[in-house]
């Protein structure tokens, strides 16, 4: 079978990429226009762009360090492991909190045991595009005077109680990298309603180096390739060539830079279509969710009341690893690729000083070993949805 549904995709048109060439003529900064539009879309007072979300986290942490001497930054034990890097680069200490089987992200019931007088910041993370209540961390933050940075990398546009997630805490960060709902291949955003924090972040961000001209000039080619390889027919036909680029190793460093003018034009165009894409993802994701939710072999994340998830993926945790492997193989044979996100909890990949003899975060390990992501992007067609549902029905 030539056609294969990739794990992630954003329908970026060649026409949209061509628009980016405007950036090579004249002196106009599309970055400012993009930041202004992003802030308006989020309903936030300020938005700042970066070369990646990791850089936005780093700059935010450097900014809050100017307001407090505390040292610890709390993240869930099951998450994107490279979150350790901006924390360390800012001279701070990553601290883990157990993950929850309810939503595959931070278990807030464990949070009171993790925070202390040295807690500077807590990062609730909306994994896979699912919003959930952060009332408890917000309450603890105001009592114990630490900051909340919502990691909204995977959930741009997701809503909770009529508000966009990413605007509920002190700041929210977003990733525009490959695989996200809103992607210009790379990039990151930070939003905040605090004028004080915005001033610090602006100062730090403006000190970052700009993207080199060589980056700007190669961007059209990279974005064109990216747009093409995620189309099912090309993904399937050239899978052998594409697959080596899918796997990333555990990074030891990252670069902090400003966003590029070329990408800002693409970003402006995609921002106009984000609600449309998210609507399609919601429809497809919920069709799968409803069909799979009572399957006794798996666990799905809870969909929070009064929330609108944006289904970066549909994450499925299998009770048995063998069943997971069988489902992945069957879906692949039927033309649907699935992903394994974060094969190990963070403390198995980076030495954070935790005791290696006993497993301190068993739920995080359970999720890491058993979670696959099912595509829910606009290229997932109805026939493939039916195939996925049938594969699960036969378990």
Q: Catalytic amino acids?
A: 180
* Residue 81 contacts residue 350 (beta carbons within 8 Å): yes
Establish if 153 lies at the interface with ligand PLP (CB under 6 A). Answer: yes
The nearest distance, CB 291 to ligand PLP, in angstroms, is 26
128 or 277, CB closer to ligand PLP? 128
User: Residues binding ligand PLP: what is the number (CB under 6 A)?
Assistant: 12
In 3D, which of 146, 157, 145, 143 has the Cα closest to residue 123?
Answer: 146
Establish if 125 lies at the interface with ligand PLP (CB under 6 A). Answer: yes
Residue 4 tokens, joined? 């294969």
The nearest distance, CB 246 to ligand PLP, in angstroms, is 13
The nearest distance, CB 5 to ligand PLP, in angstroms, is 20
Establish if 103 lies at the interface with ligand PLP (CB under 6 A). Answer: no
In the stretch 36-65, what mask flags binding to ligand PLP with x, by CB under 6 A? Answer: ----------------xxx-----------
Handedness of CA 53, 58, 63, 65 (dihedral sign): positive
Per CB under 6 A, which region of 138-146, 149-157, 266-274, 325-333 contacts ligand PLP?
149-157
Handedness of CA 304, 305, 311, 317 (dihedral sign): positive
In 3D, which of 76, 113, 69 has the Cα closest to residue 94?
Answer: 76
189 or 385, CB closer to ligand PLP? 189
In the stretch 268-287, what mask flags binding to ligand PLP with x, by CB under 6 A? Answer: --------------------
Establish if 258 lies at the interface with ligand PLP (CB under 6 A). Answer: no
The nearest distance, CB 393 to ligand PLP, in angstroms, is 30
**Residue 338 CB neighbours (<10 A):** 21
The nearest distance, CB 347 to ligand PLP, in angstroms, is 17
- d(CA 234, CA 36) in angstroms, rounded, equals 35
- d(CA 353, CA 318) in angstroms, rounded, equals 30
Q: What are phi and psi of 78, to 5 degrees?
A: -105, 110
Q: Which of residues 154-193 bind ligand PLP (CB under 6 A)?
A: 154, 175, 177, 188
- d(CA 177, CA 216) in angstroms, rounded, equals 16
* Residue 176 contacts residue 189 (beta carbons within 8 Å): yes
Contact residues for ligand PLP (CB under 6 A)?
52-54, 80, 83, 125, 151, 153-154, 175, 177, 188
């Amino acid at each position: 079978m030539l056609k294969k549904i990739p794990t992630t995709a954003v329908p970026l048109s060649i026409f949209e990429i061509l628009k980016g060439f405007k950036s090579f003529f004249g002196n106009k900064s599309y970055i400012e226009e993009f930041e202004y539009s992003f802030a308006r879309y989020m309903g936030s007072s300020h938005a700042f762009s970066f070369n990646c979300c990791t850089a936005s986290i780093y700059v935010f942490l450097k900014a809050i360090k100017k307001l407090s001497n505390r040292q610890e930054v709390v993240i869930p034990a099951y998450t994107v492991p490279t979150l350790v890097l901006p924390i360390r680069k800012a001279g701070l200490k990553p601290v883990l909190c157990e993950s929850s089987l309810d939503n595959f992200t931070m278990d807030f019931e464990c949070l009171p045991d993790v925070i202390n007088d040295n807690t500077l910041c807590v990062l609730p993370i909306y994994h896979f595009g699912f919003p959930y209540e952060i009332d408890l961390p917000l309450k603890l933050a105001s009592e114990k005077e630490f900051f909340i940075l919502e990691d909204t990398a995977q959930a741009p546009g997701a809503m909770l109680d009529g508000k966009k997630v990413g605007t509920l805490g002190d700041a929210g960060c977003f990733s525009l990298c490959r695989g996200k709902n809103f992607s210009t291949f790379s990039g990151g955003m930070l939003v905040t309603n605090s004028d004080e924090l915005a001033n610090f972040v602006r100062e730090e961000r403006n000190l970052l180096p700009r993207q080199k001209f060589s980056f700007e000039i190669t961007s059209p080619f990279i974005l064109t390739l990216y747009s093409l390889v995620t189309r099912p027919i090309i993904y399937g036909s050239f899978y052998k060539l594409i697959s080596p680029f899918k796997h990333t190793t555990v990074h030891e460093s990252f670069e902090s830079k400003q966003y590029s003018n070329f990408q800002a034009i693409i970003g402006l165009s995609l921002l106009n279509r984000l609600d449309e894409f998210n609507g399609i993802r919601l429809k497809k994701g919920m069709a799968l969710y409803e069909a799979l939710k009572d399957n006794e072999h798996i666990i799905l994340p809870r969909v929070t009341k009064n929330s609108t998830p944006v289904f970066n993926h549909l994450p499925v945790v299998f009770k048995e690893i063998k069943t997971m492997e069988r489902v992945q193989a069957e879906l692949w044979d039927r033309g649907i690729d699935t992903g394994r996100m974060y094969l190990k909890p963070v403390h198995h990949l980076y030495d954070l000083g935790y005791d290696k003899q006993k497993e301190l975060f068993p739920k995080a390990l359970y999720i890491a070993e058993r979670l696959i992501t099912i595509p829910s992007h606009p290229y997932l067609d109805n026939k493939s949805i039916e195939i996925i549902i049938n594969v699960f029905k036969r378990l």
